[in-house]
Amino acid sequence: MRINPLALPELTPVYPAQKILLSLAVIWGTTLERTIATVYAKRSCVKVRRHKAVRQHAEQKFMLANLDRVEQHPTDGNGILEVKTAGVNSANFWEEGVPNSYQCQVLHRLAVTGKV
């Protein structure tokens, strides 16, 4: 099973970090992330904050995760919030639900944080 249909290691060129950071998809994704998290917090009645540190699994030191946001729910406790934006070119991957690549990413982050 291919986890990420957009990733073709044998065909994917390696881009310098600056070129990736300046791509329109990355610019719009990071710009909209804050707004989406704010709206989610208001609609869900939870506190949401940025998490600026890299998390590491307590035992499996190779497992690292960068969390988009951490949420504080009044009755359910703390959790993670993963914000995704989809443009015209990637919208079709969402037609049948959350793409496998994003599900795996969230499961990894839950495992790293001990929330699984």
CATH architecture of structural domain 17-113: Alpha-Beta Complex (3.90)
Distance CA 31, CA 33 (A): 6
Q: Please report, rounded to a whole number, the percentage of residues in the chain having pLDDT higher than 90.
A: 51
pLDDT of residue 89: 77
The full length of the chain comes to 116
Q: How do the domains of the chain map onto residue ranges?
A: 17-113
Whether 71 and 47 have beta carbons less than 8 Å apart is answered as yes
Distance CA 22, CA 98 (A): 26
Whether 33 and 68 have beta carbons less than 8 Å apart is answered as yes
pLDDT reading at 1 higher than 60: no
Whether 74 and 46 have beta carbons less than 8 Å apart is answered as yes
| Residue range 18-27: mean pLDDT, rounded | 70
Whether 74 and 45 have beta carbons less than 8 Å apart is answered as yes
Distance CA 60, CA 32 (A): 33
